Amino acid sequence: MDNPVRLHWLDPRDPQQAFPDPRLAMRDPNGLLAIGGDLSSARLLRAYAQGIFPWFNPDEPILWWSPDPRAVLEPRRFHTSRSLAQRLRKQDFALTMNHAFRDVLEACAAPRARSRGTWLSPEMKQAYFQLHAQATAQSVEVWQHGRLAGGVYGVSIGRMFFGESMFSRIEDGSKIALHYLCRQLAVWNYELLDCQVSSPHLTTLGAVELPREEFLARLRGALVGGAAPTRWNFEIEVPNDAAHLP
């Protein structure tokens, strides 16, 4: 008889405690690997480097995941639909990087029209603020008429970008942010943009699913394939009409 799958416990008093092998994650729920620990920068960065990420509701303990399969975007294969291409040609917006990380995070944490709550608890937000202060968490902002209209944020390690959340206040606001982020990541030779779990929305943008083993192999290659940029600024041409900037 097969041994039952065991959920691994992480000691919150030991931020250097090793994570279990992602291949030990549960099948149901898909990818649940460990419980407990803390959200210190050291633990978070080790988790991402092993293909593990935290996701839990505010009234739950910290849960750590490594699903199989894994949803990813190849930066060079981002799908720009005809309607999005038309939207981009209007250029009635402006783009920045890391100009308003806190505002992007707060917007991502705000309740959504079809959701009763948010998974971005104050504890989670503080953890990503700390990673941003260490130049590891990054954001892309879309502006229109001086107001924040959309954005995306995530964690960058080596040549891998771990997307965490995005939001829109105008039509296609998050798609615009993701389009330009992928174009820039492609210039920087990033391996993948991790989307964690697939959705119909992500599929329309070109996201595909990789078996966990393949994802982890490509992650290992991305971590040894070069360092992340030291300064996060757009090097590609982006709309930057001052009338739209804050």
Which of 52, 67, 82 marks a domain boundary? 67
Q: Does 1 have pLDDT greater than 60?
A: no
DSSP 75: G
Indicate if 63 and 99 belong to the same structural domain.
Answer: no
pLDDT interval class at 68 (50, 70, 90): very high
Indicate if 104 and 167 belong to the same structural domain.
Answer: yes
Measured distance CA(48)–CA(61) in Å, rounded: 19
- Domain with 12 in it: 8-67
Q: Is 239 within the bounds of a domain?
A: no
Q: Does 194 have pLDDT greater than 60?
A: yes
Neighbours of 1 (CB within 10 A): 3
List CB contacts of 132: < 8 A, sequence separation 6 or more. Answer: 98, 101, 102, 138, 139
Q: What is the DSSP string of 146-165?
A: TEEEEEEEEEEETTEEEEEE
End-to-end CA gap in the chain: 63
Say which CATH number the domain at 61 has.
3.30.70.3550
Q: Does 148 have pLDDT greater than 80?
A: yes
Indicate if 15 and 102 belong to the same structural domain.
Answer: no
Indicate if 168 and 91 belong to the same structural domain.
Answer: yes
> What is the signed CA dihedral for 20, 23, 24, 25, rounded to 10 degrees?
100
Q: Is 237 within the bounds of a domain?
A: no
List CB contacts of 226: < 8 A, sequence separation 6 or more. Answer: 158, 159, 189
Q: Is 191 within the bounds of a domain?
A: yes
Say which CATH number the domain at 85 has.
3.40.630.70
Q: Is 23 within the bounds of a domain?
A: yes
What pLDDT, on the 0 to 100 scale, is given for residue 55?
A: 95
- Record the tokens describing residue 1, joined without a space: 């008889």
Higher pLDDT, 228 or 235: 235
Q: Does 74 have pLDDT greater than 50?
A: yes
Higher pLDDT, 116 or 227: 227
What pLDDT, on the 0 to 100 scale, is given for residue 116?
A: 42
Higher pLDDT, 59 or 236: 236
Indicate if 116 and 200 belong to the same structural domain.
Answer: yes
Indicate if 56 and 124 belong to the same structural domain.
Answer: no
Measured distance CA(195)–CA(215) in Å, rounded: 11
Measured distance CA(151)–CA(173) in Å, rounded: 7
pLDDT interval class at 19 (50, 70, 90): very high
Please write the tens of the pLDDT for every residue from 90-142: 999 999 999 999 999 999 999 866 544 467 899 999 999 999 999 999 999 99
- Provide the number of structural domains found in the chain: 2
What pLDDT, on the 0 to 100 scale, is given for residue 114?
A: 54
What pLDDT, on the 0 to 100 scale, is given for residue 242?
A: 94
What pLDDT, on the 0 to 100 scale, is given for residue 118?
A: 60
Indicate if 40 and 110 belong to the same structural domain.
Answer: no
